[in-house]
Amino acid sequence: MILKNILINERRLFTLALIFSLLFLQACSKKNEVREVEVTKKTDLEMYLDAKRTLDAGVWNGAIQRYKALRSHYPFGHYTEQGYLELAYAQYKVYKMEEAVVTVDRFIKNYPAHKNLDYAYYLKGLIYFESDRGFLERANPSKIADHNQENIRNAFTAFKNFIERFPDSDYTADAHKRMVYLKNQLANYEVHVAKYYLRRGAPIAALNRCKFVLESFQDTPSTGNALALMVEAYTKMEEAELAAQAKAQLSADFPNHNYLASGELDLETELFVWSDLWPF
């Protein structure tokens, strides 16, 4: 009898819980319906200003929701056009980089004559530029180039494309600085790969990387390190004449390079100071 009562009470409790859950879900549904009706009553200007205020307040996720609602209810119009760019910026601020790039590309495709088209191209470069840089990396940039070279190259290409299209834009000077930084990163990465090959006993592979630096990044601080590595690589290959030529070029172009004084290859002390090249 006691067991039977317990089972009955459990069924009653389950039934009550189910009823309350259904009532709660119904109330939420009605609340969402009311909210949806309130949204649809707003004009495109009202929805845009609501989203813009949220963006200006730095509530990025809230801004994303509002810009998407604007686009959903008013797929065409001046405020929706501008909303695309601001949506991309909000996505960029919360590191939804792939979504941000898609949004920017859609804006460029749909509005090729927009007055802020230059900003769209600039923003695309900025998105790639920041794609793999978390908070700590931005606060204290590492000495070794980012492992994800694809985004670095994408950023460089995007900024280059932007500058070619809009040489007189207000954002051109900043894009130039970022391209210098990216070029230094790419060169630095190649030098470290060359050093790795040399350490692994592959001097020819190291030489190829160093030659690539001299050909493609001759105006970067990594050129001196590439020449020093070439001296080491030719020495290991017992190519004394070529080693002497590389050392002579190093002495002429970088007379204060540490390798000339010590004869030791210590890239960690020779790498340029990142704080001098991180003006952002």
DSSP for 178-231 reads HHHHHHHHHHHHHHHHHHHHHHTT-HHHHHHHHHHHHHH-TTSTHHHHHHHHHH
In angstroms, rounded to a whole number, what is the distance separating the alpha carbons of residues 156 and 115? 24
Contact status, residue 107 vs residue 84, Cβ threshold 8 Å: yes
Q: Does the structure show a pLDDT above 50 at 257?
A: yes
Q: Which two tokens stand for residue 119?
A: 């900003």
CA dihedral 138, 144, 145, 146 (to 10 degrees): -60
Q: Does the structure show a pLDDT above 70 at 80?
A: yes
Mean pLDDT computed over 115-141: 77
- Summarize pLDDT for 177-197 with one digit per residue, the tens: 999 999 999 999 999 999 999
- Summarize pLDDT for 234-253 with one digit per residue, the tens: 999 999 999 999 999 999 99
**CB neighbours of residue 161 within 10 Å:** 14
Q: Is the model's pTM score more than 0.85?
A: no
Would you place residue 3 in the very low, low, confident or very high pLDDT band (cuts 50, 70, 90)?
A: very low
Query: Who's near 222: CB < 8 A, 6+ residues apart?
Result: 184, 187, 188, 190, 191, 213, 272
Q: Which two tokens stand for residue 78?
A: 């001046």
Q: Which two tokens stand for residue 240?
A: 């004394």
- Summarize pLDDT for 119-128 with one digit per residue, the tens: 999 999 999 9
Q: Does the structure show a pLDDT above 60 at 87?
A: yes
